[in-house]
Amino acid sequence: MAKKIDVPFNGTKEQEERLKKALAELKVEHGGQGLMIAALQRAQDIYGYLPEAVQQMIADELGVSLAEVYAVATFYAQFSLYPKGQYKIGVCLGTACYVKGSGDVYKKVCDTLKIEGGQCTDDLKFSLDATRCIGCCGLAPVMTINDDVYGKVTPEEVEGILAKYRD
């Protein structure tokens, strides 16, 4: 379970307009059926996460209950109800990486940042998730920070890699 961080929702009017426009487009593309997951994906692209206020907007726009939106948002690993860090760290815990020691890398990140998987540091700088195979098993164990990929990572290298992202 993600650590609950009390961040007041500060969505802008502009974001709301973008969401409404995206939902209107999706309704046309999907012919009106089965667009909930795509709607949540767009919303998360716009806001970075899916707080209750955003879920409510989607529910209103699609004419469904908040419970229905919440049910889908909490089912899939991609969706987060809490904000993610500025730098999203992913450590692959797919089998190929795991047998090559990615579990130790993961633990080292937890220890270094004092967070667990799914959580975010208090300064909203880093968040950590265990990812499943990202498909570059030749580089196992793999760690990603936003779009940067680090291959053949050892626990000893973790601090040095993280240091690049601290100011």
Partner 1 sequence: MFRSHILVCGGTGCTSGNSMKIYDALVARIKKEGLEDEVHVTKTGCFGLCALGPIMIVYPEGAFYSQVKLEDVDEIIDEHIIKGRIVTRLLYKETVGEDGNIKALNDTDFYKKQHRVALRNCGVINPEKIEEYIAYDGYEALGKVLTEMTPQDVIDVISKSGLRGRGGAGFPTGRKWQFAKNSPGKKKYVCCNADEGDPGAFMDRSILEGDPHAVIEAMAIAAYAIGADQGYIYVRAEYPIAVQRLTIAIKQAREYGLLGKNIFGTGFNFDLDIRLGAGAFVCGEETALMTSIEGHRGEPRPRPPFPAVKGLFGKPTILNNVETYANIPQIILKGADWFASMGTEKSRGTKVFALGGKIHNTGLVEIPMGTTMREIIYDIGGGCPNGKKFKAAQTGGPSGGCIPAHLIDTPIDYDNLIAIGSMMGSGGLIVMDEDNCMVDIAKFFLEFTVDESCGKCTACRIGTKRLYELLCKVTDGTATMEDLDKMEELCYYIKENSLCGLGQTAPNPVLSTLHYFRDEYEAHVKEKRCPAGVCKKLLRYQIVADKCKGCTLCARNCPVGAITGTVKEPHVIDPEKCIKCGVCMEKCRFGAVIKA
* Region binding partner 1 by CB under 8 A among candidate stretches 3-11, 15-23, 47-55, 126-134: 126-134
Which of 20, 24, 53, 76 lies at the binding interface for partner 1 (CB under 8 A)?
76
Which of 43, 106, 131, 153 lies at the binding interface for partner 1 (CB under 8 A)?
131
Cβ proximity to partner 1: between 7 and 71 the closer is 71
Query: Least distance (Å) from partner 1 to the CB of residue 136?
Result: 4
- How many CB atoms lie under 10 A from the CB of residue 55? 21
Residue 2 near partner 1 by CB under 8 A? no
Report the alpha-carbon distance of residue 35 to residue 83 in Å, rounded: 23
Cβ proximity to partner 1: between 10 and 33 the closer is 33
Q: How would DSSP label each residue in 35-92?
A: -HHHHHHHHHHHHSS--HHHHHHHHHHHT--HHHHHHHHTTSTT--SSPPPSEEEEEE
Q: What is the DSSP letter of 132?
A: P
Residue 145 near partner 1 by CB under 8 A? no
What is residue 162's three-state secondary structure?
helix
| Residues between 3 and 62 with contacts to partner 1, criterion CB under 8 A | 29, 33-38, 40-41
Which of 81, 110, 137, 161 lies at the binding interface for partner 1 (CB under 8 A)?
137
What are the structure tokens assigned to 105, written together?
Answer: 């890398």
- For residues 59 and 66, the answer to whether their CB atoms sit within 8 Å is yes
Query: Least distance (Å) from partner 1 to the CB of residue 126?
Result: 20
Cβ proximity to partner 1: between 50 and 113 the closer is 50
Residue 94 near partner 1 by CB under 8 A? yes
Q: What phi, psi does 92 have (nearest 5°)?
A: -70, 125
Residue 146 near partner 1 by CB under 8 A? no
